[in-house]
Amino acid sequence: MSSPHHILVLAGSLRKESFTLKIANALAKLAPPALRLDVVMPHGISFFNQDLEANPPADWLAFRERIQKSAAVIFVTPEYNRSISGVLKNAIDVASRPYGKSSFLGKPVGIISNSPGPLGGVSAAKHLQNILPGISGPIMGQPEMYLNGVGDAFDEKGHLIKESLQKVLQQYLDAFAAFVEKQNG
């Protein structure tokens, strides 16, 4: 068997106990042998400012390099005010520059949104689907993943205990592994 594809999982929240981070960590534990998932949060990425592009800050360069070294990216996003979080948008802005040299370019992309409410963060996922074309590689269209009611999915230690969610995430990862394999050959 060939070595596993290195996948960057970008959790779009800064909160230590966020459902987004718990879902990202659950994905890493459920990854099939074909994938090795590396969970990253947008901590410490300074605000994008085009004035800094000539001499980008070290945190921008380090973040871009992590993406460039990956075979694909999975975005796990909460929904804030019917969109993605500001920290996730900033991370995307930083990684998509300089113009025409996006770190996401050519990378297969997966999108998973979540919410403790009934809509599963669908607006945030749709916003990512609007933002990413032109700066990323192909976006996996099926299965779509809008996780609702995630409030009771984890125990007090952050472990995934909701069996139905575990099955859905496993199916998603299997589909994503096939998607990445098809894109990367």
pLDDT tens, residue by residue, 134-150: 999 999 999 999 999 99
Instruction: State how far the Cα of 145 lies from the Cα of 183, in Å rounded to an integer.
Output: 20
Please determine, for residue 43, whether its predicted confidence score (pLDDT) is greater than 80. yes
Instruction: State how far the Cα of 137 lies from the Cα of 133, in Å rounded to an integer.
Output: 7
Residue 105 CB partners (closer than 8 Å, separation 6+): 135, 136, 137
Instruction: State how far the Cα of 89 lies from the Cα of 83, in Å rounded to an integer.
Output: 10
Q: Do residues 109 and 77 touch, judged by C-beta distance below 8 A? A: no
Mean pLDDT of 39-59: 96
Instruction: State how far the Cα of 115 lies from the Cα of 44, in Å rounded to an integer.
Output: 24
**How high is the pLDDT of residue 2?**
72
Please determine, for residue 1, whether its predicted confidence score (pLDDT) is greater than 70. no
Tokens found for residue 170: 């496993």
CATH number, domain at 142?
3.40.50.360
pLDDT band at 185 (very low <50, low <70, confident <90, very high): low
Q: What is the DSSP letter of 116?
A: S
In terms of DSSP H, where are the helices of the chain? 19-30, 58-68, 86-95, 122-131, 163-184
Instruction: State how far the Cα of 48 lies from the Cα of 57, in Å rounded to an integer.
Output: 10
Q: What is the DSSP letter of 108?
A: -
pLDDT tens, residue by residue, 62-109: 999 999 999 999 999 999 999 999 999 999 999 999 999 999 999 999
Tokens found for residue 168: 């859905």
pTM more than 0.85:
yes
Question: Which residue range(s) make up the domain with 53?
Answer: 5-184
Instruction: State how far the Cα of 169 lies from the Cα of 164, in Å rounded to an integer.
Output: 9
Residue 18 CB partners (closer than 8 Å, separation 6+): 11, 78
Mean pLDDT of 10-19: 95
**How high is the pLDDT of residue 91?**
98
**How high is the pLDDT of residue 116?**
87
- Domain total of the chain: 1
pLDDT band at 46 (very low <50, low <70, confident <90, very high): very high
pLDDT tens, residue by residue, 101-133: 999 999 999 999 999 888 899 999 999 999 999
For residue 14, what are the CA distances in angstroms to 39, 107, 166?
12, 24, 23
- Encoded amino acid at 113, one letter: S
